[in-house]
Amino acid sequence: MRKPRRPDPEVLEIDYRVPTALGSLAWAVALIVLLAMGDRLAASEQWWLGVCATGLVLGVFGYAYIPRLLRKRAEAEERHTARRDSAEPDR
């Protein structure tokens, strides 16, 4: 006999900007290290400069986008709650 499915855990809301900032910082440090290597970086490995720059740009974009995302989520939740409350019959 199968076990009944346990309910999904509650979503843990955290400040998503902290890991985004740390990731962006890591890409920035990697880019600085690679740029500091200069000519010692083999020509076949210079594609890593583009990877670091892309990671940094995406991290900065994510950091700037997170507040908008959270605001839109909150607005959608408010609309859902208002719609649900208006659909319930008064007792």
47 close to 79: Cβ distance less than 8 angstroms: no
Q: Would you call 27 helix, strand, or coil by DSSP?
A: helix
Structure confidence at residue 84 (pLDDT): 87
What is the spatial distance between Cα 37 and Cα 49, in angstroms, rounded to a whole number? 11
Residue 28, CA atoms < 13 Å, CB-side half-sphere: 9
Q: What percent of the chain has pLDDT over 90?
A: 75
What is the spatial distance between Cα 50 and Cα 47, in angstroms, rounded to a whole number? 5
Phi/psi of residue 29, nearest 5 degrees? -65, -45
- pLDDT single digits (tens) 31-59: 999 999 999 999 999 999 999 999 999 99
Say what the pTM is. Answer: 0.73
Whether the pLDDT of residue 89 is over 70: the answer is no
What is the spatial distance between Cα 28 and Cα 34, in angstroms, rounded to a whole number? 10
What is the spatial distance between Cα 70 and Cα 30, in angstroms, rounded to a whole number? 29
